[in-house]
Amino acid sequence: MNKLVILCLIGIYATTGHAQTGFFPPTTAATTVGTSTTTAAIRPGTSPSPPNITTPAPPLSCFQGWKAYTSITGPEIADGSSVGPCPAYATQCDLTEYVNAQPNGTYYIRFGRCSTPATQTTCHDIRMDNSTVGMVINCSVSACNTSNCNVPMASNQSCPKTPSNDVQILPMCTLKQTLNQSFECMGPWFKDAPYNNPGMCKTNLDQMVRCLGGVTANCLSGSCPTILDFIPGVRAVYPTVVAIARSATSLSSALGLIPNISQPIIDMIQNGICPSTLGVVDPNLLLLLSNPIKIGLQQNVCTGEILDDLIKWSVEAAVSMQRATTHGEMCTAMNTFGTHIVTAWHTRCSADRLDNLLRLALTPDLHHLIPKIRIGIHVAIEFMQNLKLPGCPNVPVTPAPVCFNGTVVTYPNGTFISRNGGYIQCQMGVNECGSIRAVNTVAPGHTIHWVTGFCSHTNFRPTCDQVRA
């Protein structure tokens, strides 16, 4: 009987300058051929190449969103549209043309969307949707069933070049711009927290919502291409989101615009942020949001129960902020949450595994998006690392150690067999170097010794049971 990993020792070296490794140890697999047995190290983050997938027929593509003009002949004055793929159910492209008479002027509108004969846009729909912003006159609807058949005149908008270290996530905003502008809106509310007066808390919260609404409306305007355009029908949703963002004057009014949301849910969310009495966030709310991505993230990209930990950290941060009596305690809660996220990504998740998961999840014609998704994750993690909270002291950043990242295999007498890897600068969030020493019986009477080094963190050290598994 083949005995695999009969002795395992784990060594951890704090950040004292000693060099060790950069990720979790390889799994040792044994293969028996005839009477001999060999072992092979399989590095985390690698998997067999995905099978060849037949490229499906492209979906119907339509002009989606709206363009506004001063008259039927132009010029164009606003553009909230693009041309993109439709949902699978769509069989035709609509184009609605109408005049919207408002107190400050009259505008000619072209509105496009993906539809079916049963869901085709009607002028009644348009009049109802515009009832609060003007009077609709001279409305007409047409439909066609070939890709891009409803595209009106070309947009005169010029699109800036996206930097190589960022991604264009919305028509007018990159991911960095979206994160920075959104955080600027949240800053004034956080600066005065915690609040003894729930009324003041809600006043500042409503100001934050109005600011975020402006950012949303601005970022979603225009027709510049984005990384999200591959999602069928996504552009057609933007006008609705922009309308909600512009009409939301408070958190309560913003939530009230969400279809089918009940007042108790609105009250629970608002009181969770500005509690009238000391309360605790219900973890079940976070569980509802987590389940759709839990399996793919935990089984394919990260080690351990990563999403369970994320939920736990989120609840701990929310509860700590609710119970905070000083601004310093608010700062500590947020900084601790950010440190958990950054450390977990660098020590427990594999970018290579993420690539493999995306290759299996996306059709081949979308594989060009994978590098952009990786850049987006890097941008988000970097944002968390460098986040400066209003009114909070700067937290000194301890540089990550340099560790040996690889495996050395020898015979029991120390004779060298093989070595791979080398010394690396560990990622932010790593605070120690570690090593695993194991003895494998590869055949009766024959053993080998191997040592694997890795970047580690005090809270996420591997165990011998993981090595044996």
Q: Where are the domains of the chain?
A: 7-50+399-468, 61-144
Q: In the beta sheet, which residues pair with residue 36? A: 33
Q: How far apart are the C-alpha atoms of 115 and 6, rounded to whole Å? A: 63
Name residue, tokens 């002009």. 63
Q: Which pLDDT value is given to residue 36?
A: 30
Q: Which pLDDT value is given to residue 71?
A: 76
**362, 369 contact by CB (below 8 A):** yes
Q: Which pLDDT value is given to residue 158?
A: 67
Token readout for 391 is 């009114």
**31, 40 contact by CB (below 8 A):** yes
Q: In the beta sheet, which residues pair with residue 81? A: 65
Q: Which pLDDT value is given to residue 28?
A: 35
Q: How far apart are the C-alpha atoms of 116 and 133, rounded to whole Å? A: 27
pTM as predicted: 0.57
- Residue 49 phi/psi, 5-degree rounding, is -60, 140
Q: Which pLDDT value is given to residue 88?
A: 83
**61, 84 contact by CB (below 8 A):** yes
Topology of domain 61-144, CATH: CD59 (2.10.60)
Task: State the 10-residue block means of pLDDT for the chain, 469 residues long.
Answer: 44 42 32 31 37 58 85 74 83 91 85 91 87 83 89 66 89 91 88 83 89 88 80 76 81 79 80 60 47 46 71 79 83 84 78 79 82 88 82 69 84 84 74 83 80 78 68
Closest to 116 in 3D by CA, of 140, 148, 151, 88? 88
**283, 252 contact by CB (below 8 A):** no
Amino acid at 115: S
